[in-house]
Amino acid sequence: MSTDPHGKTKLDPFGTTFIADYEKLYEEFGIQPFKPLLPQMPEPSAAMRRGVIFGHRDFERILQAVKNHEEYAVMSGIKPTGEFHLGTLQTAREVIYFQQHGAKAFYCIADVEAYEDNRIPFERSQKYAVGNVADLLALGFDPKKGFIYQQSKETRVKDLAILFGRGVTLATMKAIYGEHHMGLYLSALIQAGDILLPQTKEFGGPKPTVVPVGIDQDPHLRLTRDLAFKFRRKYKFISPSSTYHKLIKSLDGSPKMSKRDPMSYFTLEESPEVIAKKISNSFTGGRPTAEEQRRLGANPDVCPIYDLYLFHFFERDQDVAKLYNEECKGGKILCGENKQRLTKIVTDFVKEHQRKRRQNIDKAREILQID
């Protein structure tokens, strides 16, 4: 687990975050558990029902808006540093879920952060951005009910960042993010601009806004909520709400996928053959011999293959429960067999997704105004 020198969990959007115990985050960061809100959600998503979305800040405000059919927004995005992977797929599905449940949707291509954090020049991130937007459209995002933009081209977001610069000291930035070069602090202020953009006059003024993200992004939410409060008198900002999803395990069994190791994850653009190979080489929570596994069962809690089913590839909750309890813990399935079944599901999904993605490339170029 990543911790600071005092043993407190470190949530770092610019570094690596490993979480051993999600329960601890409720106490350490004042994040609220999502589960008690489930019965109030009219049609909870699979991620909500399965505890993949485990925490929130002020989500009651969104529930209220949904119940009263009031205007609200969803805002999230992607850092264009490569092709869609399983983490970005998770966030995209959450944005689309809220869009399909009445939210005005905002999706940001965080190219300033890609430059400041990952040194990706704008010319390169533009290429990724086109693919990323085509992925988003292929997954069901409706551009007519949403706004997709690049940070570097969106003046309103940059104007907000300039404004917010007066509301925060260097000491606060260091306390939230740790010691970094100025550009990263600037990109954090731009992210605050992204999160509050839906509440500006041009987009209809103050409104509840939910930001669905991985838990490692929480520092951006803390900064933005503080800025929304500081600038509330003039701009009437409503403090943004957030939901937090767990981080999917790496295929090597470590707690988070790493782009440094291409065998630890796969993207939606890779060939079915490569994906099949990566799944086949994946770590599992299996026993050393088939006989032991049948007799004692295996451990889904440490298994990335189980995570893949849980997060993305089993549609029905009863199939997830059956895999966890009967098949895996009950020793009814062996890891090789389980991997083969998953490979078929994943490669079928990826082939279909790639077909839809190709159909949406021109549309993505048009939205981003890139030739």
Q: Which of 285, 310, 314, 360 is in the footprint of ligand SF4 by CB under 6 A?
A: 285
**Is 279 one of the binding residues for ligand SF4 (CB under 6 A)?**
no
Matching residue, tokens 């041009």: 202
**Is 303 one of the binding residues for ligand SF4 (CB under 6 A)?**
yes
The piece of 62-70, 184-192, 243-251, 302-310 that touches ligand SF4 (CB under 6 A) is 302-310
In terms of CB distance, is 138 or 303 closer to ligand SF4?
A: 303
In terms of CB distance, is 248 or 335 closer to ligand SF4?
A: 335
Q: Is the separation of the CB atoms in 343 and 117 below 8 Å?
A: no
Angle subtended at Cα 267 by Cα 216 and Cα 334, rounded to the nearest 5 degrees = 90
**Is 250 one of the binding residues for ligand SF4 (CB under 6 A)?**
no
**Is 255 one of the binding residues for ligand SF4 (CB under 6 A)?**
no
Residue 119 and residue 86: Cα distance in Å, rounded? 22
**Is 284 one of the binding residues for ligand SF4 (CB under 6 A)?**
yes
Q: Which of 120, 161, 333, 350 is in the footprint of ligand SF4 by CB under 6 A?
A: 333
Residue 334 C-beta: closest distance to ligand SF4, Å: 7
**Is 247 one of the binding residues for ligand SF4 (CB under 6 A)?**
no
In terms of CB distance, is 215 or 328 closer to ligand SF4?
A: 328
Distances (CA, A) of 103 to 34, 69, 135, 229, 321: 19, 10, 20, 23, 31
Residue 48 C-beta: closest distance to ligand SF4, Å: 22
**Is 95 one of the binding residues for ligand SF4 (CB under 6 A)?**
no
In terms of CB distance, is 124 or 332 closer to ligand SF4?
A: 332
The piece of 66-74, 197-205, 263-271, 282-290 that touches ligand SF4 (CB under 6 A) is 282-290
**Is 300 one of the binding residues for ligand SF4 (CB under 6 A)?**
yes
| Strand ranges, E, within the chain | 32-33, 53-57, 73-78, 104-109, 146-150, 209-214, 241-245
Q: Which of 29, 34, 306, 311 is in the footprint of ligand SF4 by CB under 6 A?
A: 306
Residue 100 C-beta: closest distance to ligand SF4, Å: 30
Residue 338 and residue 285: Cα distance in Å, rounded? 12
Tokens linked to 20: 């051993």
Residue 289 C-beta: closest distance to ligand SF4, Å: 13
Q: Is the separation of the CB atoms in 13 and 256 below 8 Å?
A: no
Task: Extract long-range pairs of 309-315: CB within 8 Å, 24+ residues apart.
Answer: 309/342, 310/50, 310/52, 311/47, 311/52, 311/86, 311/90, 311/248, 312/86, 312/89, 312/90, 313/342, 313/345, 313/346, 313/349, 314/345, 315/46
If you compute the radius of gyration of the chain from its CA atoms, what whole number of angstroms results? 21
Residue whose C-alpha is closest to residue 66's, from 45, 93, 90: 45
**Is 310 one of the binding residues for ligand SF4 (CB under 6 A)?**
no
**Is 335 one of the binding residues for ligand SF4 (CB under 6 A)?**
yes
Q: Which of 88, 196, 286, 343 is in the footprint of ligand SF4 by CB under 6 A?
A: 286
**DSSP H helical ranges for 197-316:** 218-230, 232-235, 272-280, 290-296, 304-308
Residues near ligand SF4 (CB under 6 A) are 284-286, 298-300, 303, 305-306, 328, 333, 335, 338
